[in-house]
A and B are shown apart, each in its own frame.
Chain A
């Protein structure tokens, strides 16, 4: 026996009760970094002395609240109906094209809401193809001759967001339907319920927690959205935060609005967590056989086909076709607007964020696995709340501390005789930081789920065979998790590519990504000239759609 009796490290004597391992310490640091922007917003809101709050309270707060809630209600209902309905159709019924719809229904996920908003407006506005065609068909000549709905409105925003966000509900509802034991459905049929009756009384209640999770994720995206509401002039909270901050030049006011919005976020987080907890211990029967598939024909098949085809058509095929068409005609304009540097910028930002999110997420997930105390668990919970916090709020919360850090660095430098300019502001560091806070939950969640599939006795075997915790991670866990970790990195990468509000605010001066380029051009009615950029974002967005459809196809217990 060569190993000497080891004493606990010195810090153990200084803090007799709390003994932090490097893993615990790291997890706490990560949690602190994620919490900083949120705490900063609350701090600015509380300490603001500009007295703008009374003004906001009396003038716009009610409007923002009403618009935000209305948008949430509209998109929530729309995605609930479309997501659950199509999920049921493709899992339980067989009709022409149903196998294709299984994955095709995910496609709109690749289209950022603001891109669809631009395309829809382009097609439906007065000079757009649809109205032009109607006018020539009916011989109308002036706007007064006929009624046509206003696209850039609340209704337009609800429609556009519903079309690109319903896949969240679809994805979770479908997974839940696939997980359901077929026995309970068969029991329902033998007890006299029709197929539709079984859907309403058995399948949906069983899938309800998953559907709730899907809808809360949708609602988080709704309050995060800046591009669509800005373009459609829907005055939601996020639009308001930017308005107060950038146009009224009041960071305090923006922080105060953000704090109110954080309450909404909190409600969503709690709802989601509760629903996720309900998802456990769900199945009373472990028997899974091939799902019954009701073969539809005639008018019913046609209706089912239409119900599945419309969301895909409007949410993906339309924007993809229009953008492809424009991209072919106007690609030279896009290229000369410095397309390749936008692509490079997008790649650099998204790739650095993805790699960092992966490393930190894996570290955190492994720290949770190693620890038994409450500290790491609290840290990991804290570190994964960023996904619910709208980009606008994070922008406020990231900019202020980085500015403060820069100032203190240059102050220290000044005292030491160096001249240090802004070290962080003006670099991509704040953007990457913002991305990390917002998307860490994605990589952490994937790493955690993947680690969860490795039995703890693997750890025990590696440790008793002489591997340190880090050695076990490197030699056992990492090789086993490689596929999932790649997926996690891709998910973060693509989300960063699409991200708009954070990037808009935190990017360095004159630094454009594909997203900011498309948004600025298209907002100035230059959709054609930016179409290639938008198409590139959509193209990148298809990668996770493919990954997700492969995963979900494999996820049915008992199928392999």
Chain B
């Protein structure tokens, strides 16, 4: 089978278990993101796929070849696997210039055929002028691009990216992400990328695997994960939430904001109700909140008005804290600039797609 298959992989460092039965598949041309907090085992998984870590349990298959199997302790060395790996710190060889870095993985005899590819790649990434420069003279973004070209130069079977954008400053990230995505997609190889940034994962990935404490907790498309998180961990990982505790009654979960549909949950069940700040729609007290493009038609309009505690501009959006009748506060985030004065009253509605209800564990 073509693509990258990681099957039922478990791994421990000494007595510390970092992976428990993780399976990942990436088809040729597909970009799969491993998303999770630091220490969840995602980088270890990448290193196991590359062969930099010895596989303990499970199986790694690359384009139909079993390259590592925990059962018979079969372990193909990394240099034979045809894996392109881009490191978080780029790991450019400081004693080689850009061109020699990129050509490192090329056979000196057959490498000639790829030299045209290198020139094109350098040109695409705007690095033609830096071919003879040494890594330490390059900016972070330039180093990142050299590292990516270097990983792709030998024409790898699969591509592995370890936190490829974490070393870049925020202003440059968007552009470099787009460039990277383009080059990776053009190569057509199965790509596995590790990140702890949900926004980055959503931008880059065809499919996201959310990991926590050595397990895959959810596997799906970016939109699935955002609108249908499997549990409170996934919901919270994709951004801050307002959390309420409630009890299911007649198929609905009661909260201080009102009651929400809780399909499939038995009456009397304890539930966590999570509402994203961006799930709220607000208007001045004398108006009715309107839906945004993409919202379902049936916004849930809240009864009465709410008191504004603070309203802060964030640029693209406004951050508004509201006080409920019972004294508790909720955080909301409204696109554009909407800054009602502190102490004033506003009307609110909730986009029910941004409400997630989970049985309390």
Contact call B91/A6, Cβ cutoff below 8 A = no
The answer, yes or no, to whether B197 is at the interface (CB within 8 Å) is no
Q: B68-81 interface mask toward A, CB cutoff 8 Å, 1 = contact, 0 = none?
A: 00001111111111
Q: A362-382 interface mask toward B, CB cutoff 8 Å, 1 = contact, 0 = none?
A: 000000000010000000000
Contact call A458/B91, Cβ cutoff below 8 A = yes
Interface 9-residue window, one of B57-65, B240-248, B279-287, B320-328? B57-65
Contact call B154/A1, Cβ cutoff below 8 A = no
In whole angstroms, how far apart are the Cα atoms of A466 and B157 in the complex? 13
Given contacts A463-B78, A464-B79, whether A5 and B154 have CB atoms under 8 Å apart is: no
In whole angstroms, how far apart are the Cα atoms of A1 and B64 in the complex? 8
Given contacts A1-B64, A5-B65, A455-B89, whether A464 and B76 have CB atoms under 8 Å apart is: no
Q: How large is the interface on A (under 10, 10 to 19, 20 to 34, 35 or more residues)?
A: 20 to 34
- Shortest CB-to-CB span from A542 to chain B, Å, is 30
Contact call B84/A464, Cβ cutoff below 8 A = yes
Q: CB-CB < 8 A to A480: which residues of B?
A: 93-95
Contact call B50/A465, Cβ cutoff below 8 A = no
Most chain B CB inside 10 Å of its own CB: which residue of A5, A8, A19, A457: A457
Q: CB-CB < 8 A to A3: which residues of B?
A: 65, 67, 76, 80-82
Q: CB-CB < 8 A to B76: which residues of A?
A: 3, 5-6
Contact call B157/A461, Cβ cutoff below 8 A = no
Contact call B78/A476, Cβ cutoff below 8 A = no
Residues facing B in A446-488 (CB within 8 A) are 455, 457-468, 471, 475-476, 479-480
In whole angstroms, how far apart are the Cα atoms of A4 and B150 in the complex? 25
Q: B149-181 interface mask toward A, CB cutoff 8 Å, 1 = contact, 0 = none?
A: 011001011001000000000000000000000
Q: How large is the interface on B (under 10, 10 to 19, 20 to 34, 35 or more residues)?
A: 35 or more
The answer, yes or no, to whether B311 is at the interface (CB within 8 Å) is no
The answer, yes or no, to whether B104 is at the interface (CB within 8 Å) is yes
Contact call B78/A464, Cβ cutoff below 8 A = yes
Contact call B93/A476, Cβ cutoff below 8 A = yes
Contact call B47/A460, Cβ cutoff below 8 A = yes
Contact call B63/A457, Cβ cutoff below 8 A = no
- Shortest CB-to-CB span from B228 to chain A, Å, is 36
Contact partner, B79, options A5, A7, A466, Cβ 8 Å: A466
Q: CB-CB < 8 A to A459: which residues of B?
A: 52
- Shortest CB-to-CB span from A461 to chain B, Å, is 4
- Shortest CB-to-CB span from A454 to chain B, Å, is 9
Contact call B66/A464, Cβ cutoff below 8 A = no
The answer, yes or no, to whether A12 is at the interface (CB within 8 Å) is yes
- Shortest CB-to-CB span from A330 to chain B, Å, is 49
Contact partner, A5, options B54, B74, B89, B151, Cβ 8 Å: B74
Given contacts A3-B81, A6-B76, A479-B95, whether A461 and B87 have CB atoms under 8 Å apart is: yes
Q: CB-CB < 8 A to A7: which residues of B?
A: 72, 74
Given contacts A7-B74, A466-B154, whether A461 and B82 have CB atoms under 8 Å apart is: no
In whole angstroms, how far apart are the Cα atoms of A479 and B81 in the complex? 26
Contact partner, B104, options A19, A372, A475, Cβ 8 Å: A475
Q: CB-CB < 8 A to B47: which residues of A?
A: 460
Q: B34-64 interface mask toward A, CB cutoff 8 Å, 1 = contact, 0 = none?
A: 0000000000000100111010000000111
In whole angstroms, how far apart are the Cα atoms of A402 and B105 in the complex? 46
Q: CB-CB < 8 A to A468: which residues of B?
A: 77, 79
The answer, yes or no, to whether B88 is at the interface (CB within 8 Å) is yes
The answer, yes or no, to whether B83 is at the interface (CB within 8 Å) is yes
Residues facing B in A469-516 (CB within 8 A) are 471, 475-476, 479-480
Contact partner, B66, options A5, A455, A462, Cβ 8 Å: A5
Residues of A within 8 A of B (CB): 1, 3-8, 12, 19, 372, 455, 457-468, 471, 475-476, 479-480
Pick the 7 closest A-B CB pairs, nearest first: A465-B105, A457-B91, A461-B91, A463-B78, A457-B87, A464-B85, A3-B80
